[in-house]
Amino acid sequence: MSQHGPELRNDLLLRALCSQPTPRTPLWMMRQAGRYLPEYRATRARAGSFLNLCMNPELACEVTLQPLARFRLDAAILFSDILTIPHAMNLGLEFEAGEGPTLARPVRTAADVRNLPVPHPETELKYVLDAVSLIRRELAGSVPLIGFAGSPWTVATYCVEGGGSKTFARIKSMLYGEPELLHLLLAKLTRATIDYLSAQVEAGAQALMVFDTWGGALTPSAYREFSLRYLSEIAAGVRREAGGRRVPLVLFTKGAGPLLSELARAGGDAVGVDWTTDLGDARRMAGPGIAVQGNLDPSVLYAPPAAIRAEVERVLASFGHGHGHVFNLGHGIHPDVPPEHALAMVEAVHELSPRYHD
C-alpha cells in the first residue's frame, strides 16, 4: 500500500512515459471528461457552473471518473482548468456560456505584475488538492492519475488579454515593447506553477502534464525566450518522484512543429504532439529516451468507426515498432463528438497496438 491507497494494477501509462516496454500502447484522451459525455453535462448542470464544478472536489472526482466507466482508458486526468492559478491570484475569473474564460482584473502594468500574489496551493488551491486526493482514493489503484497545469506563457496570455484572443495584441505588445515586464510576470507564474504541480504530486498525482496551448503563436526565437525557457524551469523545479516511483512529466506545446526537438530537450520525460506533425518525425525529433504522446486529429472522431480505425492504424504505424508511445488525440476531444466514436478509437488502439510491441 502506498500513502494514497493500493498499488497500481495498470501502470502502462507510467511505463510508456518513461520509455519502458509495454505489451500494448496505452491511451487516454485530452478532455476525456467533458461535454461530449451526457453524464458530464448532467453533473455540470447540477454544479450550476463550470467554476463550481472545478471547485467542488466531490463533483470534480465524479466527472474525472466518468470516462473510465465507459472506455478502457489507461489513465484518469484531474478535472480542473489551466486558469486555476490566475483565479487564485484574484484576477476575477469567470466562464461565460459560449464565450470562454474572462478575467475581470487583467494584468497590464508594472504595478499589476508587482502586486500579483503567488498563491499557496495548500490554501487558495486546496480544492484542487482535495480533488486529487479523493480521485486517487476512488481509483483504488485501477489506473494512474495525471495532474496538470497551463504553461506560464499560455496562462500569461489570459492574464494580460483578459480572456481568449486571436491576435494576442496586448501580450505581444508587452513581449516586444516591455519584455522585462513580461519576464517578471512569467517568473511569478512559473514559481506558482512549480508549487502547484508539486502539491498535486504530494496529494497523489502520478504523472504531470503542462499544456502550452498558445506556444505555437510565437516566433521561434520568442518561443525559446518566453515559453520554452519557463517550461525548462518547471521541469527542473517540480517534484518528480513519489512513493519510490518516478512521476513522469509531459510537456505539450500545440503548434510546436519543427521546435519539437528543442521541447524534447527541455527536461520532461515525454512530449505531446498535435496532429500537424507526423508521429514518426516527432519520434525522431524527440530522440531516444523521450516518449511521445499523440496524435490523432480530434476531427477524425466525426468519421464513421471504420474510418476511425483506419486513422488509428495510421498513427500507430507512423510511430512504428517500439516503446515510448502514449496514444492520444492531438488536442482535446470536440464537444459534439458521439461517445461511441470515442469508443471506436479506444477499442482500435487495444486491438491494433500489441503488434507494435512484440
Residues classed as catalytic: 31, 35, 44, 81, 158
191 φ/ψ angles, rounded to the nearest 5 degrees: -60, -45
Question: How does strand 145-150 pair with strand 207-212?
Answer: parallel
Q: Alpha helix (H) ranges present in the chain?
A: 12-17, 38-47, 50-55, 57-70, 84-88, 110-114, 126-139, 152-161, 169-177, 179-203, 220-223, 229-237, 260-264, 279-286, 305-319, 339-352
Q: How far apart are CA 70 and CA 67, in angstroms?
A: 5
In sequence order, the 6+-apart residues with CB closer than 8 A to the CB of 194 are 233, 234, 237, 238
Question: How does strand 100-103 pair with strand 93-96?
Answer: antiparallel
**Radius of gyration in angstroms for the set of CA atoms belonging to the chain, rounded to a whole number:** 19
Whether the link from the prior residue into 295 is cis, omega within 30° of 0, is yes
User: How many Å separate Cα 24 from the centre of its chain?
Assistant: 22
In sequence order, the 6+-apart residues with CB closer than 8 A to the CB of 97 are none
Q: How far apart are CA 64 and CA 25, in angstroms?
A: 22
Instruction: Give me the DSSP letters along 36-72.
Output: TSHHHHHHHHHHSSHHHHHH-HHHHHHHHHHHHHHS-
Query: Three cell numbers at 223?
Result: 518561443
Nearest of 155, 143, 125 to residue 57 by alpha carbon: 125
